[in-house]
Structure 1
Amino acid sequence: MKYAYILFLFILWSKTFGQSYSGLFTDNFSGIHNTIINPGSLADSRTKWELNLFSINSIASTDYTPLTLGNITSFIENDSFDSLERLASDTNNFLINLDVLGPSIQFSLNEKNGLALFTRIRAIGNINNINGTLFESVYDGFANQDFDFVANNMDFTTHAWAEIGLSYGSILLQKKYHRLKGGISLKYLLGGGAIQGSSTQLNGQYDSSIEELSLNGDLSYAFSATETEGDVDYFDNLSSGYGFDFGVVYEFRTPSSLAPSNGDNPRGFNQYKLRMGLSFLDIGKITYRNTESSTYQINATFAAQDLEEDFISAIEDQVVPQTLVNDQAWKLPATINLNVDYWLTKQWYLNLNINQGLLDMNATFNNNPLNLITLTPRYESRIFGAYLPISNSKLSGTSIGLGLRLGPLLIGSGSLFSNLGNNAQLADIFLGLKIPVYHKKKSKDFKSKKQ
């Protein structure tokens, strides 16, 4: 296996580079994209029914190299970091997240209840606390200069899986100025494969005169797929699992926020002055049968060329591992999401979203999302929506993007304007096509009820 983890991460980056659907999910007319962030939004939705044909969102974040438009283009063209500015340290971090929302449908059952069925393919990869010089040497080749490194609590995990989900949302409490909604998504998971590596401590010294790297420390490695004589069967050990999301949404209404729907169909209008949502996402796991886990205690010297070709195989040639075969569970990237939306005036809103992972970053056999705080001014109407997400996290720094909803077309990036600058640490893009049908503003049914 030719250092499959690193290659898999950057294949995703180079093909799709790029928080899911940044800005878009705050829109009251975003339908199922709102539901996958908080299933409580499904109740009393502006969407009568909606068919999502496809949507794709991808994100990359790192403190190893600036994710400027020029650097991204250069990397895609050359598949190399050689020409890029590099900020190598003992604790570099990488995150890749790919989210494909396949054919999905959402519809209102009645005034209080909604239902959705969705399909989704996802992949997420993390590298935490890796020495940047070691990383670039293995990926791009060892340079003609000596170096020493220390890596503590290094961890790398990639996991890919598919989901089939059923979401239900309902109004739990309804009074004149207050409304409480809740929802849940139940998900059947099909695991596509996972890789896990970790090290509590790994030290090294590279001697460029003889092109050899001396390593001392520990390394643990597990791979869910079957590998026979160098060939990997990624589909030999497909495993299933279950997961769920749940959330609540509270709306505070005032006479002025209720006024636009007076005399018309209230389901065709936003009626809140302030909306607050809280959701717990990706609670669950997938267990892969007969996973082989190996632990290496390393104190040896390796040829640089062997490490470049296949890092794990080069170590196995000189170090006998302790190997264990058992059923191993990989946890989903469990997340808590807090969303606050405020109606400013007419069709203008201001949104604050906080996305925080619930799992220990240094724990094994799990992934972590990008912990983002995002402030999004937006304009929304039934046909058109525009979003200006301004986000910040420890890894990605501050990013500014732009998103648009033009009828059935969705397009945007949470980092567009930042990528045009010099210091971006986030690259994000989304694109989608759907068929939405919204509740009419004027309804004979509602008029007849009032008469």
Structure 2
Amino acid sequence: MRHYYLLVSFLLIKMTGIGQNYTAIQGSSYAGSLGTGHNPASIVNTPYTWDVTPFAFQVRTITDAVTIHNYSLLTPGAKAEYAFTPGNFSRTAHLSSNINLLNARVSLNRQTAIAGGINIRTYLRGKTSPYNFIDTLSGLESFFGINGNRLDLSGDVTGNSWVEVYGSYARTMIDNEKARLNAGVTLKISRGLAASNVRADNIRVEPQATTELSQLVSGQARYAYSINFDYWKNEKSTMQNIRDFLSRTEGGFSMDLGVEYLLKPSGWVAFDDDDTYYDYDWKIGLSLLDLGFNQYRFSPNSRYVSGIRPGISGADLDNKFTNIENVQAFNDSLATVVRTMRRFSGNFTVINPTRLVINADRFITQAFYVNADLSINLYAFMKDRLYARELNLLTVTPRWETRRWGFYLPMQYNAENKFWVGAAVKAGPLLLGIHNFAYVFAKDQLQNGGGYLALVVRPGARNKGPYKDKKDKRMRQYQCP
């Protein structure tokens, strides 16, 4: 049984490798091109004429199915080991990350900005119905046994990755002495790199009437993956494999829409100072993100199955699926178990992690701010379609931030009902952060956390006389001229 479980876990993890989740800088006017993925309107209200992000990386994972022991970011991994979590409960897993390559933003003037770049993104989500599990099971028959020989199982796992090229445009729509309204749009053209889905429903196990064995009595399932996996062959060179893999990708499209409403500070303002022009007391953002899809071509090994042949016990399943070496052999064995088997053909679509984001950023004093971010996944409208899902829900981030330095303390309650406290620091062009402190210190939480790293190149600040220091400027804004 351990081998079956390990195989499934490996497939889940292999699909991930790369979320726009630079949590610390959400709502920050210094986010620059990295802010595009959170709200395209944000690229206007930035006190730089340009910025370039040559490279940025973010990853986040959460699961209760596997625990990594004796390992944290501060301890050596020589004694690290993993264990599948025992107990009777529903298992979940979520992994997301992204790579940003050559992202750039340019202010055409104070009212208009553009941005563009390349992102590589991957999402995986998985959830099962409750079942009992221990790590010493010898096979499916013993697995059925510890569940009382009565099971009603279901599960759904979807993972996909894609590369996207995007362009953003934002401008100021309304500007007066009290407030400013900015709006922006991002259009993204993508290629679906890889995808897979496994879904099982109504897998029922009951005790046999004449023996002590259990039997599989009903169920239906689908398992599918993109065809380019079939063209990765060990006998070919790495470059040839990459060419064959990418040549069988399909296109996709998505877009982001956003607005930001800024309430300006009252009092005296130096209009010739860039930082003063971009100051605010409140900034309220609303964005609709990742409205779109990616396409993939079915592998000919993808199947839909339903119905169970009579008399199939756990021991029979152990015998039929021993020494399975590839998907074709798995299909052949499964055909002897089910009544109906149908092959998928053509293309399938995975909906991007569409969500509505509401963000409020409050200036406190000097260089201190507090940001609150609410992210609402819209997958409830997807019904039975395949979709990716974002982990964000509610995040509150106090921060101290200037042009060159920043310290951040994001606190988040995520969509898996977990509370995390993270941290980040900005030092010149470098941004480094973690999602969960437990990921760093605890020796059994490496599977729950993640972090981010970004290199953002900006122009040097011009000497602006008495207003060049952000701290002094915000203290003086209420003084009389």
TM-score (normalizing by structure 1): 0.83
Q: Name the aligned partner's letter for residue 431 of structure 1.
A: L
Which runs of 5 or more structure 1 residues have no equivalent in the other structure? 444-451
In the alignment, what sits opposite 2:183? 182
Name whichever structure is richer in strand by fraction.
1
Matched, 1:281 2:292: no
Q: Per the alignment, do residues 228 and 124 of structure 1 end up closer, same or farther by CA in structure 2, a change over 3 Å counting?
A: closer
2:425 matched to 1:373? Answer: no
Aligned match of 1:217 in 219, 243, 261? Answer: 219
Aligned length: 432
Show the counterpart of 2:375: 355
Do structure 1's residue 262 and structure 2's residue 287 form an aligned pair?
Answer: no
Retained in 1: the 8 A contact 2:34–2:53? no
Task: Quote the Cα distance in structure 1 between the aligned partners of 2:386 and 2:356.
Answer: 19
Distance across 1 between alignment mates of 2:41 and 2:158: 31
State the Cα distance separating 1:440 from its structure 2 match: 4.0
Q: 2: CA distance between counterparts of 1:158 and 1:225?
A: 14
| Residue 429 (1) aligns with residue 451 (2) | yes
The 1:391/1:212 distance shift into structure 2, 3 A limit, reads same
Q: Secondary structure at the match of 1:321?
A: strand
Instruction: Work out whether residues 91 and 151 of structure 1, in 8 Å CA contact, stay in contact via their aligned partners in 2.
Output: no
The structure 2 residue matched to 1:303, chosen from 311, 315, 318, is: 318
Q: 1:70 to 1:442 in 2, by over 3 A?
A: same
Query: Cα gap change, 1:39/1:227 in structure 2, threshold over 3 Å: closer, same or farther?
Result: closer
Q: Which runs of 5+ in 2 are unaligned?
A: 235-243, 466-481
Structure 1 match to 2:146? 147
Contact 1:286 1:331 in 2 (8 A): yes
- Offset of residue 216 of structure 1: 3.8
1:114 match: 113
Name the counterpart of 2:240.
none
Measure, in 2, the Cα distance between the counterparts of 1:119 and 1:244: 14
* Structure 2 CA distance for partners of 1:73 and 1:181, relative to 1, 3 Å: same
- Max radius of gyration: which structure? 2
Taking every aligned residue pair, what percent have the same amino acid on both sides?
20
Deviation per residue, 1:51-103 (Å, 9 max, x gap): 11110000001233567883789998789633x6x254442110000211111
How far apart, CA to CA, are the structure 1 residues paired with 2:252 and 2:80?
Answer: 35
Which amino acid in structure 1 is aligned with residue 435 of structure 2?
A: G
1:253 to 254, 257, 264: 264
- Mapped pair 1:167 → 2:168: yes
CA 316–22 in structure 1, closer or farther in 2 if over 3 Å, else same: farther
Distance across 1 between alignment mates of 2:421 and 2:406: 17
Q: The residue matched to 1:328 in structure 2 has which SS?
A: strand
| Partner in structure 1 of residue 432 of structure 2 | 411
Partners of 1:127 and 1:295 in 2: CA distance: 19
**Local SS of the residue matching 1:33:** helix
| Residue of structure 1 in register with 2:13 after alignment | 10
Query: 2 CA distance for matches of 1:10 and 1:160?
Result: 12
1:224 Cα shift? Answer: 1.7
- 3-state SS, counterpart of residue 356 of structure 1: strand
- Alpha-carbon deviations, 1:276-331, whole Å to 9, x = none? 10111111112224555521125334117937856961534643512231322211
2:123 is aligned to 124
Please state whether the residue corresponding to 1:303 is helix, strand or coil: helix
Conservation of the 8 A alpha-carbon contact between 1:68 and 1:421:
no
- 1:155 Cα offset (Å): 0.9
Residue matched to 1:321: 341
- Aligned counterparts of 2:41 and 2:136: Cα–Cα separation in 1: 47
- C-alpha deviations, 1:405-440, integer Å up to 9, x for none? 111111111212465358868312101212112664
Question: 2:255: which partner in 1?
Answer: 244
Q: Does 2:341 match 1:332? A: no
> Residues of 1 paired with 2:28 and 2:368: CA distance?
11
